[in-house]
Amino acid sequence: MYDLKEVLEAKNLAIIGASQDPMKPGTMLLKVLKNTGFRGQIAGVNPKAGEMYGVPFYRTIQEIPFQVDLATLIIPPKAVVSALTDCARAGVKGVVISSEGFAETGSEGAQYQKEVAAILRSSGMRGFGPNTMGIVNTATGMTTAYFSNNRMLRPGSIGFAAQSGIFVGALLRYLSSFEEFRISKALGLGNKVDVDESDVLAYFREDRQTEIVGLYLEDIRDGKRFLEEARRTVAQKPVVLLKGGRTAAGAHASASHTASLAVDDKVLDGVLRQAGVLRVENIDQLMADLMGFRCMPLPKGGRIALVTFSGAQAIMSVDTATDEGLSMARFANETRQRIAKVISSPSKSMNPVDIFPGMMIHGFEKTSTEILRALLTDDGVDGIIFITFATPDVEPYQPLVEVIQENLNKPVFFSLIGEKEDMERCRVFLEGHRIPMFLLPEMGVKVFSHMWRYARIAT
């Protein structure tokens, strides 16, 4: 059986199902590969031969004059078995089966999938899918997703795998619109005829480019192996999981989506906790966790400080912190004295610190920077959530960014609210300086909680 590393670092690709129709997925993939700067050799496979975008087509994979490391199959399910047989004979190391119409569709498709599995086992080829957009390696510019773009292929440190067809590609397009979301590798598992979640955990664990692992799963094929691989991976880097099919209705839907089998959600929750995997409930929390781990240092404790202009948002954040098992930091005497220089009311200089109306007297910049410096140097504070308003320009936040960057020794998250355009402008500015911003401060509290939970495992 070939190593996944050999497949993910494929130097030569074949696209089975390439055509001269520019709107066909195989042809769109050819164009993507030419535009993204993939440096390996590429060939198309089409019974009519021909070429497109300067890439030659061959009638069979055996006719290709170079060794093919990876083949992506974008052909009807009935043709997949024969194409896989040809790939095995040609010594192909891995295949991505993008075609739909397998076990997720019924008995006929399930039979095709059994035959696919048998060929992969007997040949040693590694297989992704069926029913997947496939794989992305930003280190080499290699992708099998025909809607990839250059932003998606900017090298980064987040390894992501999804048990889905098009979702992994669509999510990557969304993630890539955020400056700090840069992927190392992205793996679409689809129906998991061969490569599954345990395989990708083992791969990500050894991949030097990957520092954080994100997963979307609908089931777990081998619970015992998953627990083992997850424990070993978590010991080296954080793993964040979003699980689809939590409910009976969701499990039923996932069965028709990727032929997933239901797993008891409470049992799964226990397994994940044993392994140290951080479970999230939705896409927003998944993104927030990945952003926190990518941009901020791990906390040294679970004591959090809130700086706010809104008492209501602070109260809700305190509630969330309590639910998450965190504690509100108690400030050192020196910290209280420094805060008192800009916050005259004793009740507003405690945790949470209320910057209003102090900022009306001393100005937003002086009030905020003085408080941040005090909290960043207080060993009794392990993380900071700064809650304020979005402004039409980002100039007021430049001094705060400089203070944070000079003294960054704990997680600092911002939560800004205001007009939509102002919020987006501020978010881009802050994240451009690797400071995460969340719409709701409770999200930042949850990210801090997950980072603290992981820090206790990692240390």
pLDDT at 166: 60
Contact between residue 233 and residue 205 where contact means Cβ atoms under 8 Å apart? yes
Residues 102-132 pLDDT 10s:
988 888 889 999 999 999 999 999 999 999 9
pLDDT at 42: 97
pLDDT at 71: 98
Res 247 pLDDT > 60: no
Residues 195-238 pLDDT 10s:
999 999 999 999 999 999 999 999 999 999 999 999 999 999 99
**Domains, the chain, ordered by start:** 4-291 (3.40.50.261), 297-458 (3.40.50.261)
Cβ–Cβ contacts within 10 Å for residue 136, how many? 26
- Only one residue has tokens 């999981």, namely 241
pLDDT at 263: 63
Cα gap 324→447, rounded to integer Å: 10
- In the chain, % of residues over pLDDT 70: 95
Confidence of residue 168 (pLDDT cuts 50, 70, 90): low
Contact between residue 324 and residue 446 where contact means Cβ atoms under 8 Å apart? yes
Residues 265-312 pLDDT 10s:
888 888 899 999 999 999 999 999 999 999 999 999 999 999 998 888
pLDDT at 253: 45
Res 165 pLDDT > 80: no
pLDDT at 310: 80
Length of the chain: 459
pLDDT at 268: 87
Buried/exposed 11-27: b ≥16 CB within 10 Å, e otherwise: bbbbbbbbbeeeebbbb
Residues 365-395 pLDDT 10s:
999 999 999 999 999 999 999 999 999 999 9
Which residue(s) pair with 279 in the sheet? 241
Confidence of residue 347 (pLDDT cuts 50, 70, 90): confident
Which residues, at least 6 apart from 387, have a Cβ–Cβ distance to it below 8 Å? Answer: 306, 307, 308, 309, 310, 313, 314, 317, 414, 415, 416, 441
Mean confidence (pLDDT) of the chain: 91
pLDDT at 353: 96
Any idea of the CA torsion for 42, 83, 188, 258, to the nearest 10 degrees?
A: 160
Cβ–Cβ contacts within 10 Å for residue 5, how many? 10
> What is the 8-class DSSP label of residue 139?
T
Cα gap 430→398, rounded to integer Å: 9
Confidence of residue 250 (pLDDT cuts 50, 70, 90): very low
State pTM to two decimals.
0.91
pLDDT at 245: 56
Confidence of residue 84 (pLDDT cuts 50, 70, 90): very high
pLDDT at 167: 63
Q: What three-state secondary structure class fits 245?
A: coil
In terms of Cβ atoms closer than 10 Å to its own Cβ (0-12, 13-18, 19+), residue 393 is exposed
Cα gap 18→332, rounded to integer Å: 67
pLDDT at 106: 86
Residues 438-449 pLDDT 10s:
999 999 999 999
Res 431 pLDDT > 60: yes
